[in-house]
């Protein structure tokens, strides 16, 4: 606890010095209440001492304080003086601003009064100008009322008011005319609007009055078809020259020239130049009057050009140069185009027989062109170009005429069938030549080469046998065989067969050989054919002539006539004596024209052939006939001596002949494809034909046989018999291939089903009579079905197998010719379909597999 005396000292030190006791015992001591009085006493003593000290100090510094007070009072006085001075300065500055404002107001007032004076002066000038303009308008109106148009326009020459309306501003003045905007900047003043409107109205009135006067100078009478051009008018002081000057001021020279051309054309030139508007009136000129007279003009180019020259001379003599220039520019484009289209182009002949008249027309056009150039008349270059392009124009006319004629011939349709004959020379063995002499036919050993598209693709079963595959039946192989057969019979892609092969000239001699064979009922084998070919290779040959008749439409005769006519014209133009003809440069183009003509035939003719059910066969015959005739013509062309060598080289027929053959071949192929597709659809399409109901099978085979016979009957009179038999054989092949494929795809064949199938095949075999040569009857009638349908014997042997027992099948395999048409695997499959699996069946199958090619061993 701190003592009272210590506590008082501590508080005095803390109050005067701000010190705090450092001893912890003192600073942390507890102050008792009893120590406070003593501390207060010490504080009072310290206070008294401090007051005494302050009094003493005050007494010592009193003089210094008085001095400070004196200085402070002086400063206060200076501050008051400065404030008064500042106030005076502020009052004086405010007085200067007021004087400046008063000066600005005075200057503004002076400027305002100056503008007022200028405005009044401008207004005075404007009023005086408006008065002047109004007086001029009055004077111009007075002159206009007196029909003094030129004087009125001269007065108005200095008046062009600024338009205030929204309608287009038409400048009726000259370059010397000025606008009123240079006088008055404000055109919205009502007085100016009135003057502006009055000026425009007066100008329009003068223009209307001038139009009446101009019509009196240039009088157009549509009823009489005449135009009269007056240089002066007795009732008015205006002349034609002044009228043209007025048109120039109004900038309507071109407009007036265009209107004059329209009137001239409608009243005089169009009736004279329109060939379709016969009769043609003659143009007559009497002084200053031109008219379409009642006399008839000569319908030729010479007379037309003569009258056109007189019209041009009339216009030049009676019109001013300015109007003539505008009139000619408006007139000649239409007139020259009409003359070229209606007169010159129609004068171009399509035949060389009229070339002399064409030459005369060229001379007349050239003379007319020279006249235009002398007169300084435009559009002479268009007529000059027409003369220079004489050969091009003639070639285009020839091309257009030939192609149009061809289109018209095609549009007439097939017409009446024409009987044609094809003659062919061929080297054959001498012993065959004797037979050909009697039968008028030849042997074609390569007949099958033309019918690759009709042959069936080798079945997978045969491929397995040839490559040593498994002898067991494979269902996937049969599916593949059926797919191949379907593709063969229904393919929609035409094959590019040679049309000459499609005709099958000489196939009938093979039929004659078959007729004299002792075993004619048995089919000729491939090995037999090879033996015959080897024997014939060492036989003496002789030349024979073979001919067959067929039908064509009337189309190819017209096409041939057009082609030969064009080429003969080209030959004439290439002759030296005709080199001076203006159209001789067109010769190369003529030799290219048959290409276009035949291309047109190929492009358009299918439309007209399609109108006939047998159109494709007619198309084939037409192209064959046309190709032969063109080949003969080309051969004769190369031997001609009346044409130069370059004409011989220009002919381009050979490529077109190949295109014709391909064109006919496609039509023939498309016909067979279409017919095979029909047959395939009648035979249940992609389904198995023999898995239908019996009534459906019966109707289907009846429709198929009917279809084949109808096609054979339709083709019989159109194409040669050998070609007809070949086409019919293609259809029979399609039937046989579908039936054979469907039989192999059956799961099994019972006795009743085998008999039913045999009955169906027997009906198909009734088509055999379609392949008997015309003229053969009785015992001499030998069907050649196997020659034209390579699947025929395979179908026949299949029928025998279905009706045979195991012994008969074994005999057919080993002793007969079943192995020529079926592989061992196919025969084994047939046995598996027809018989139950027993010891005899297995033994027969074993023997057949052991001897896959029985004929090779016997030979």
Axis crossing angle, helix 615-639 with helix 555-574, rounded to the nearest 10: 20
pLDDT at 138: 76
What is the length of the chain?
859
pLDDT at 708: 95
Is it the case that residue 418 has pLDDT exceeding 50? yes
Is it the case that residue 665 has pLDDT exceeding 80? yes
Three-state SS for 341-378 is: HHHHCCCCCCCHHHHHHHHHHHHHHHHHHHHHHHHCCC
| Contact between residue 159 and residue 255 where contact means Cβ atoms under 8 Å apart | no
pLDDT at 173: 39
In 3-state terms, what secondary structure has residue 425?
Answer: strand
Question: Which pLDDT band holds residue 496 (cuts at 50, 70, 90)?
Answer: very low
Backbone angles phi, psi at 720, to 5 degrees: -60, 155
pLDDT at 3: 61
Q: Are strands 218-221 and 281-286 parallel, antiparallel or unpaired?
A: unpaired
Lowest mean pLDDT among 69-78, 144-153, 269-278, 626-635: 144-153
Q: What is the DSSP-derived secondary structure letter of residue 524? A: P
Same domain? 374 vs 338: yes
Average pLDDT of the chain to the nearest whole number: 79
Strand partners, 179: 160
pLDDT at 368: 94
Higher-confidence residue of 570 and 23: namely 570
- Helix ranges restricted to H, 683-784: 694-716, 721-744, 751-765
Span 556-573, pLDDT tens digits: 999 999 999 999 999 999
Examine residue 201 and state whether it is found in any structural domain, yes or no. Answer: no
Lowest mean pLDDT among 43-47, 282-286, 447-451: 447-451
Lowest mean pLDDT among 236-250, 581-595, 680-694, 801-815: 236-250
Cα distance between residue 543 and residue 545, in whole Å: 7
Lowest mean pLDDT among 65-74, 242-251, 357-366, 471-480: 471-480
Examine residue 449 and state whether it is found in any structural domain, yes or no. Answer: no
Tokens of 598: 């035949």
Same domain? 631 vs 757: no
Q: Which stretch, 104-113, 270-279, 507-516, 847-856, has highest mean pLDDT?
A: 104-113
pLDDT at 597: 94
| Contact between residue 581 and residue 446 where contact means Cβ atoms under 8 Å apart | no
Question: Which pLDDT band holds residue 221 (cuts at 50, 70, 90)?
Answer: very high
Cα distance between residue 523 and residue 97, in whole Å: 144
Residue-by-residue DSSP string for 155-176: HGGG-BPPP-SSSPPP--S-TT
Is it the case that residue 89 has pLDDT exceeding 90? no
Largest CA distance in the chain: 187
User: Given 372, 388, 404, which residue is the final one in a domain?
Assistant: 388
Cα distance between residue 450 and residue 445, in whole Å: 11
pLDDT at 401: 94
Same domain? 755 vs 789: yes
In 3-state terms, what secondary structure has residue 750?
Answer: coil
- Of 209, 199, 154, whose CA–CA distance to 179 is shortest? 199
**Structural domains in the chain (count):** 4
pLDDT at 627: 94
Tokens of 552: 């064509």
Higher-confidence residue of 277 and 203: namely 203
- Helix ranges restricted to H, 745-784: 751-765
Higher-confidence residue of 600 and 427: namely 600
Is it the case that residue 56 has pLDDT exceeding 70? yes
| Contact between residue 308 and residue 358 where contact means Cβ atoms under 8 Å apart | no
Share of the chain above pLDDT 90, in %: 42
Examine residue 801 and state whether it is found in any structural domain, yes or no. Answer: yes
Q: Are strands 281-286 and 236-239 parallel, antiparallel or unpaired?
A: unpaired
pLDDT at 481: 38
What's the burial of 205, exposed, middle or buried (CB within 10 Å: 0-12/13-18/19+)? Answer: middle
| Contact between residue 412 and residue 609 where contact means Cβ atoms under 8 Å apart | no
Same domain? 661 vs 808: no
pLDDT at 432: 52
Same domain? 644 vs 716: no
pLDDT at 557: 94
Higher-confidence residue of 445 and 632: namely 632
Lowest mean pLDDT among 315-324, 539-548, 624-633: 539-548
Is it the case that residue 404 has pLDDT exceeding 90? yes
Continuous segment of H or E residues that includes residue 292: strand 289-296
Cα distance between residue 453 and residue 489, in whole Å: 9
Segment 59-76 mean pLDDT: 78
Query: Which are the contacts of 436, defined by CB distance < 8 A and separation ≥ 6?
Result: 428, 442, 509, 544, 546
Strand partners, 419: 551
Same domain? 671 vs 729: no
28: left (phi > 0), else alpha (psi -120 to 50), else beta? Answer: alpha
Segment 18-47 mean pLDDT: 75
Same domain? 378 vs 412: no
**3-state DSSP helix/strand/coil percent for the chain, to nearest 5?**
70, 5, 25
Lowest mean pLDDT among 29-33, 244-248, 827-831: 29-33
Is it the case that residue 435 has pLDDT exceeding 90? no
Span 98-139, pLDDT tens digits: 888 888 888 898 998 898 888 888 888 877 777 777 777 777
Half-sphere exposure of 271 (CA within 13 A, CB side): 22
Continuous segment of H or E residues that includes residue 182: none
Residue-by-residue DSSP string for 398-424: HHHHHHHHHHHHHHT-S-S-EEEEEEE
Lowest mean pLDDT among 177-191, 255-269, 746-760: 177-191
Question: Which pLDDT band holds residue 5 (cuts at 50, 70, 90)?
Answer: low
Same domain? 561 vs 412: yes
Taking only Cα atoms into account, the Rg of the chain, rounded to an integer number of angstroms, comes to 62
Half-sphere exposure of 763 (CA within 13 A, CB side): 19
| Total Cβ atoms within 10 A of residue 191 | 12
| Contact between residue 217 and residue 197 where contact means Cβ atoms under 8 Å apart | no
Higher-confidence residue of 216 and 185: namely 216
User: Given 14, 29, 60, which residue is the final one in a domain?
Assistant: 60
Structural domain range at position 280: 252-388
Query: Which are the contacts of 7, defined by CB distance < 8 A and separation ≥ 6?
Result: 31, 35, 36, 38, 39, 42
Strand partners, 357: none
Does 557 sit behind a cis peptide bond, omega within 30 degrees of 0 on the bond before it?
Answer: no
CA torsion angle for 164, 165, 168, 173 (degrees, to 10)?
Answer: -40
Cα distance between residue 86 and residue 97, in whole Å: 17
Examine residue 314 and state whether it is found in any structural domain, yes or no. Answer: yes
User: Given 60, 79, 107, which residue is the final one in a domain?
Assistant: 60
Q: What is the DSSP-derived secondary structure letter of residue 211? A: H
Is it the case that residue 344 has pLDDT exceeding 90? yes
Is it the case that residue 50 has pLDDT exceeding 70? yes
Is it the case that residue 239 has pLDDT exceeding 80? yes
Examine residue 499 and state whether it is found in any structural domain, yes or no. Answer: no
Tokens of 749: 């064949």
Q: Which residue has the tokens 């097939």?
A: 414
Same domain? 381 vs 410: no
Is it the case that residue 369 has pLDDT exceeding 60? yes
Span 600-616, pLDDT tens digits: 999 999 999 999 999 99
Model pTM score: 0.66
Query: Which are the contacts of 654, defined by CB distance < 8 A and separation ≥ 6?
Result: 634
- Of 509, 530, 552, whose CA–CA distance to 722 is shortest? 509
Strand partners, 291: 226, 284
Span 313-326, pLDDT tens digits: 999 999 999 999 99
| Contact between residue 313 and residue 375 where contact means Cβ atoms under 8 Å apart | yes
Question: Which pLDDT band holds residue 430 (cuts at 50, 70, 90)?
Answer: low
Is it the case that residue 198 has pLDDT exceeding 90? no
Q: Which stretch, 128-142, 323-337, 416-430, 434-448, has highest mean pLDDT?
A: 323-337
Q: Are strands 541-552 and 281-286 parallel, antiparallel or unpaired?
A: unpaired
pLDDT at 181: 45
Same domain? 267 vs 378: yes
pLDDT at 132: 77
Cα distance between residue 582 and residue 227, in whole Å: 40
Is it the case that residue 1 has pLDDT exceeding 90? no
pLDDT at 564: 94
| Contact between residue 210 and residue 243 where contact means Cβ atoms under 8 Å apart | yes
Examine residue 783 and state whether it is found in any structural domain, yes or no. Answer: yes
Same domain? 399 vs 382: no
| Contact between residue 622 and residue 555 where contact means Cβ atoms under 8 Å apart | yes
The CATH number for 715's domain is: 1.10.357.150
Share of the chain above pLDDT 70, in %: 80
Lowest mean pLDDT among 156-165, 445-454, 722-731: 445-454
pLDDT at 95: 82
Same domain? 598 vs 715: no
Question: Which pLDDT band holds residue 4 (cuts at 50, 70, 90)?
Answer: low
Examine residue 38 and state whether it is found in any structural domain, yes or no. Answer: yes
Tokens of 496: 């590019």
Half-sphere exposure of 121 (CA within 13 A, CB side): 6
Residue 649 to residues 632, 641, 646, 780, Cα–Cα distance (Å):
16, 13, 5, 54
Whole-angstrom distance between the N-terminal and C-terminal Cα of the chain?
A: 160
Edge-to-edge, what's the strand order for the sheet holding 218-221? 218-221, 226-229, 289-296, 281-286
Query: Which are the contacts of 207, defined by CB distance < 8 A and separation ≥ 6?
Result: 172, 250
Residue 802 to residues 5, 96, 799, 817, 846, Cα–Cα distance (Å):
159, 146, 5, 16, 19
In 3-state terms, what secondary structure has residue 316?
Answer: helix
In 3-state terms, what secondary structure has residue 279?
Answer: coil
Examine residue 617 and state whether it is found in any structural domain, yes or no. Answer: yes
Q: Which residue has the tokens 């035979």?
A: 683
Q: What angle do CA 726, 732, 735 make, to 5 degrees?
A: 150
């Amino acid at each position: 606890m701190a003592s009272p005396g210590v506590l008082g000292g501590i508080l005095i030190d803390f109050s005067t010095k701000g010190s705090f006791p450092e001893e912890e015992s003192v600073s942390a001591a507890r102050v008792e209440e009893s120590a406070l009085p003593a501390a207060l006493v010490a504080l009072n003593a310290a206070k008294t001492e401090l007051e005494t000290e302050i009094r003493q100090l005050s007494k010592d510094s009193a003089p210094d304080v008085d001095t400070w007070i004196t200085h402070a009072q002086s400063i206060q006085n200076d501050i008051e003086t400065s404030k008064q001075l500042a106030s005076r300065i502020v009052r004086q500055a405010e007085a200067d601003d007021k004087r400046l404002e008063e000066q600005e107001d005075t200057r503004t007032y002076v400027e305002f009064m100056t503008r007022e004076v200028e405005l009044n002066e401008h207004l005075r000038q404007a009023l005086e100008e408006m008065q002047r303009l109004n007086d001029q308008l009055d004077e111009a109106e007075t002159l206009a009322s007196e029909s003094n148009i030129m004087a009125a326009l001269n007065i108005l020459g200095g008046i062009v008011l600024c338009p205030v309306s929204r309608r287009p501003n038409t400048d009726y003045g000259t370059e010397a005319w000025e606008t009123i905007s240079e006088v008055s900047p404000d055109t919205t003043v009502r007085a100016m609007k009135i003057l502006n409107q009055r000026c425009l109205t007066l100008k329009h009135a003068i223009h209307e009055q001038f139009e009446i006067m101009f019509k009196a100078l240039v009088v157009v009478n549509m009823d009489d078809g005449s135009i009269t051009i007056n240089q002066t008018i007795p009732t008015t002081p205006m002349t034609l020259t002044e009228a043209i000057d007025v048109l120039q001021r109004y900038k309507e020279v071109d407009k007036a020239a265009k209107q004059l051309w329209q009137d001239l054309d409608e009243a005089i030139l169009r009736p004279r130049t329109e060939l379709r508007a016969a009769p043609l009136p003659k143009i007559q000129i009497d002084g200053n009057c031109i008219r379409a007279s009642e006399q008839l003009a000569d319908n030729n180019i010479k007379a037309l050009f003569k009258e056109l020259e007189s019209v041009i001379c009339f216009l030049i003599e009676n019109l001013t140069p300015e109007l003539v220039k505008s009139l000619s520019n408006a007139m000649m484009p239409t007139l020259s185009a009409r003359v070229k289209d209606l007169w010159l182009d129609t004068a171009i002949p399509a035949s060389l027989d009229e070339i002399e008249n064409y030459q005369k027309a060229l001379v007349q056009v050239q003379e007319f062109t020279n006249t235009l150039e002398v007169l300084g008349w435009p559009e002479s270059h268009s007529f000059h170009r027409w003369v220079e392009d004489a050969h091009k124009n003639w070639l285009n006319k020839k091309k257009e005429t030939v192609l149009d004629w061809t289109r018209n011939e095609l549009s007439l349709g097939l017409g009446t069938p024409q009987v044609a004959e094809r003659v062919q020379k061929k080297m054959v063995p001498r012993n065959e030549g004797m037979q050909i002499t009697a039968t008028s036919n030849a042997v074609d050993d390569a007949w099958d080469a033309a019918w690759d598209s009709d042959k069936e693709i080798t079945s997978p079963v045969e491929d397995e046998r040839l490559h040593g595959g498994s002898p067991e039946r494979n269902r996937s192989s049969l599916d593949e065989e059926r797919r191949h057969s379907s593709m063969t019979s229904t393919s929609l892609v035409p094959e590019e067969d040679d049309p000459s092969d499609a005709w099958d000239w000489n196939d009938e001699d093979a039929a004659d050989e078959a007729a004299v064979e002792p075993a004619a009922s048995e089919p000729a084998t491939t090995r037999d054919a090879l033996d015959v070919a080897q024997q014939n290779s060492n036989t003496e040959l002789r030349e024979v002539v073979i001919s067959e008749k067929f039908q064509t439409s009337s189309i190819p005769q017209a096409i041939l006539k057009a082609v030969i006519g064009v080429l003969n014209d080209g030959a004439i133009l290439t002759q030296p004596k005709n080199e001076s003809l203006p159209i001789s440069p067109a010769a190369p183009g003529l030799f290219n024209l048959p290409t276009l003509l035949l291309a047109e035939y190929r492009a358009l003719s299918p439309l007209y052939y399609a109108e006939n059910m047998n159109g494709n066969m007619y198309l084939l015959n037409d192209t064959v006939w046309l190709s032969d005739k063109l080949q003969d013509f080309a051969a004769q062309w190369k031997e001609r001596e009346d044409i130069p060598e370059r004409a011989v080289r220009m002919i381009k027929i050979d490529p077109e002949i190949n295109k014709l053959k391909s064109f006919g071949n496609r039509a023939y192929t498309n016909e067979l494809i279409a017919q095979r597709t029909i047959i395939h659809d009648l035979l249940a399409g992609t389904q198995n034909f023999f898995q239908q109901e019996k009534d459906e099978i019966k109707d289907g085979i009846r429709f198929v046989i009917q279809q084949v016979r109808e096609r054979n009957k339709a083709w019989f009179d159109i194409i040669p018999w050998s070609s007809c038999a070949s086409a019919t054989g293609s259809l029979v092949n399609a039937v046989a291939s579908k039936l054979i494929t469907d039989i192999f795809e059956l799961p099994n064949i019972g006795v009743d089903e085998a008999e039913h199938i045999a009955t169906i095949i027997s009906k198909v075999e009734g088509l055999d009579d379609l392949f008997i040569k015309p003229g053969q009857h009785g015992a001499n009638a030998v069907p050649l079905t196997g020659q034209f349908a390579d699947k025929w014997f395979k179908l026949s042997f299949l029928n025998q197998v279905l009706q045979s027992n195991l012994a008969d099948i074994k005999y057919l395999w080993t002793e007969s010719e079943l192995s020529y048409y079926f592989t061992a695997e196919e025969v084994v499959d047939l046995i598996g379909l027809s018989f139950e699996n027993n010891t005899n069946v297995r033994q027969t199958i074993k023997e057949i597999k052991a001897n896959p090619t029985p004929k090779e061993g016997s030979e």
